[in-house]
Amino acid sequence: MPSWFGKHSMSEERHVPGPPSELADTLNHWRDLFQRKHSEDFEALIGLTGMEDPIFSFLVDYADIDQDDLLSLRFNEYPEETIEQANEVLRSMCAEYTDVRCVLRPIYFPDEKIKTVSSLRMRNRGELVSLIVKIQDVGPRVGYLKKALYTCIACGHREEIAQRVARERKRPRGPCRICLEEAEQMLGGQVSYSLYKSLESLMQLTAEGSFYQDIQYLNVHDATETGKQPIQIILDDEYVDRHKPGQTIRINGVVYIDPIPDRNFVKDTRRILQVRALSIEEVS
């Protein structure tokens, strides 16, 4: 808390409201699905440690998600957001068993989700797809900042900001809200632009507490159409360093649109298609 703005009384403390009903319902439906269908997975966590097995995959059948009207709607309309919510539930449920990070991997996508690489277009952005592909080449393992933790150097307030792969790092929108409110109370109104910017600069990226994720890029082409244009697949976590050129795999994922690699033009509007893998299945 900045000393030049005074101190909060107990009556002035901010109360953060609970989650909206739709979010709360989604979280509860994920919890119910995990409890009903994955008791054996929770039992398998007993005795595991993060040092030996840093990641544990919950392989969830797409059909189980689809049978729940709310989860089916949310997963198909907002797949990545909904999976992050599922992972939050898993973190909470698994904490009593292990310190291993547990993640959702939806598998067995229905045939109507199967697409060919050559059929994907920009209009497919955000859609769930399933691709049966052959790996052309494997990129190096890299890491990216998935969640950036910002800390106010004046009062210690913290804020997590989700990041996107191959995007400019996002900062919090505006200054620390606690310091801003203190300043407005002290001045009896809105702060000046210069003070606003000074308060904004107090929010600093904190390396310790930010979350970095291992990722890797694969260039793949349709397993049955080797002469067609390839597409780039983004892998993460336990899928990194597990695949080799020539392998045929089934990738269940989300269609991305990203800037053309290796271009430095900030205002360049050209984009390429990618697929962010949510799960990978071996093809016999």
Domains within the chain, CATH numbers bracketed: 21-107 (3.30.1640.10), 111-143+214-282 (2.40.50.140), 144-211 (no CATH)
Question: Cα 60 to the chain's mean position, in Å?
Answer: 17
pTM: 0.77
| pLDDT tens for the chain, residues 1 to 284 | 443 443 333 333 344 444 578 889 999 999 999 999 999 999 999 888 877 778 999 999 999 999 999 999 999 999 999 999 999 999 999 998 988 999 999 999 999 999 999 899 999 999 999 999 999 999 999 888 888 899 999 999 999 888 877 677 888 988 988 999 999 888 888 889 889 998 999 999 988 888 888 889 999 999 987 677 889 999 999 999 999 999 999 999 999 888 776 666 567 777 888 999 999 998 86
